[in-house]
Structure 1
C-alpha cells in the first residue's frame, strides 16, 4: 500500500514537472528573447557548471539553512515547552511573543547586518528569526492541546517526568514542529537568497545574482533551478522525518 502511494506521488511529480517544462518552452517560443532561454539551454548550462562549483555554492546555502533551523528549533522548543507546561511563564512570555511575532523579519535584515556584520552570523540569524516565533507558538499550542488525562494515565502506571516528556510531550510538540518547518521553509529559503547577495562569494543567492549581473541568463536560470531543487529536497526530508517519527498520524 505504501509503495503504491509512493509510486502515485512520484508519477504526479513527474507529470507536474513535465507540464511546467512544456509551459516554459511555449513561453520561450512566444517571447523569442534572450532573457528567457529554452529549458534545454538552461539544463545544458546546469550540467556545464561542474560538480565542484555546484557543491560549493549549494553546500554554503545548506550550511546556513541547517544552522538557522537548528538554532530556531532548540530555542523554540525550549521556550514553547516552557510556555505550554507552565501557566506562569505563558503569562509572562505571551505578550512578548505576540508583540514581536507580527514584525516582518525581512525588514530587520539591515538592522541585523548593522549589528552582526555581513558574515555568516547575520545570515544564520535571519533564518532563525523567520522560524523561531512560529516554532514557539506551534510548540506551545501543541503542548497545551495535550489532554491532562494523558499524563494521568502515565502517572497511574508509575511513569516519571522524563518518561512523560518522552512519550507524550515530545511527540505532541514534534508533530507541530514538523508542520511549522514545512510551512516556514519556503520563507526561510527566500530570506537566505537576500542575505547571500551581500558580503559573500559563495551560496546560491550570490551565484544567481552574479550570473544576472553578467547577463548570463542560462546560468542564472540554472542557479534558480538548483536553488529550487535544494528547497524541494528539504521538503522531502521533512516529509521523511514526518513519516518516520509520526507514523501514528499517518495511519
Structure 2
C-alpha cells in the first residue's frame, strides 16, 4: 500500500472525526485537535509513555514466545502424520475458543503483573501460528522433499532449507491476522490487577477521571501500537520473504 493512500485515509478519518465532534458537541467526543494537544502533553510528562512501553513489552514478549514455540511445533506436526493425528483433536477443540474468556482464569492462577497478560496474548498467537504453519508444512510437495533428501540432506537440513523457508509466510500471515485480536485482548487484560498499560490508562481516564481527551489519546496510542505491529510484520515479510512481494 502506498504512503499517499495511507495519508489520505488518515486525513479522511480526522475530517469525519472533526465533523462528528462539532455535530455532537459534547465532552464525550472532543475534537482531534484537543485530543492531540492532550496527547502531546501526556507524552512530554512521560505518563502516557510509561503505559505505552508496558503494553509494548507485553505484546512483544508474547509474540516472541509464540513464534519460538508454535512455529517448530507446527513444522513438526506438518512433517509427522502420526503426531498430527494424535494432537489434531486437541487443537480442533481449543483453537475456536475465544481466548479472552480465559482472562479471569489466567489471573486466578498467575496473579497480577505482566505474566498473565503475556500468557493470554501468547495463547491467541500460539494457535494461530501453529495451525497455519502445520498446514503449510503438510502441504509441501513430496517430490520436493524427496529431491532434497536425494542430495543427502538429513532432518536438520530439511528443517533449515525446506520447512523453515516454506513456513515463514505462514508465520507472518498468522501474526498479521492476530495483531488486532492481540491488542484487543491486551486492552481487556490490562483492565484487571494492574496499574500500568494503555488499557488501564484508557479506562482510568474515561471511567474514573472523566478526562475524555486523555482517554482518546490512549485510544490513539493503542491504535498506533496495533498499526506499528502490523507494519512491522509487513517489513519482516519484505525482508524475509522477498519472493512474495515481487510482482
Give the structure-1-normalised TM-score.
0.94
Structure 1 residue 241 corresponds to structure 2 residue 200: no
Between 109-118 and 48-57, the greater mean CA deviation after superposition: 48-57
Paired residue for 1:147, among 141, 147, 161?
A: 141
- Mapped partners of 1:94, 1:50: distance in 2: 47
* Structure 1 residues without counterparts, runs of 5 or longer: 1-7
Q: After superposing the two structures, state which structure 1 stretch, 152-161 or 166-175, moved more.
A: 152-161
- Structure-2 separation of matches of 1:190 and 1:202: 16
Report the counterpart of residue 225 of structure 1 in structure 2.
220
Q: Aligned-pair RMSD on alpha carbons?
A: 1.2
The equivalent residue for 2:104 is 110
Q: Which runs of structure 1 show a deviation greater than 6 angstroms over 4 or more consecutive aligned residues?
A: none
Which residue of structure 2 lines up, in the alignment, with residue 66 of structure 1? 60
| 2:31 aligned residue | 38
**Residue 27 in 1 paired to residue 23 in 2?**
no
- Give the whole-Å Cα distance in 2 for the aligned partners of 1:119 and 1:60: 11
- Secondary structure at the aligned position of 1:48 is classed as helix
Residue 198 (str. 1) matches residue 192 (str. 2): yes
Gaps of 5+ in 2: none
Matched residue pairs, number? 244
CA distance in 2, matches of 1:163, 1:86: 16
1:93 deviates by 0.4
Cα distance in 1 between the residues matched to 2:42 and 2:2: 30
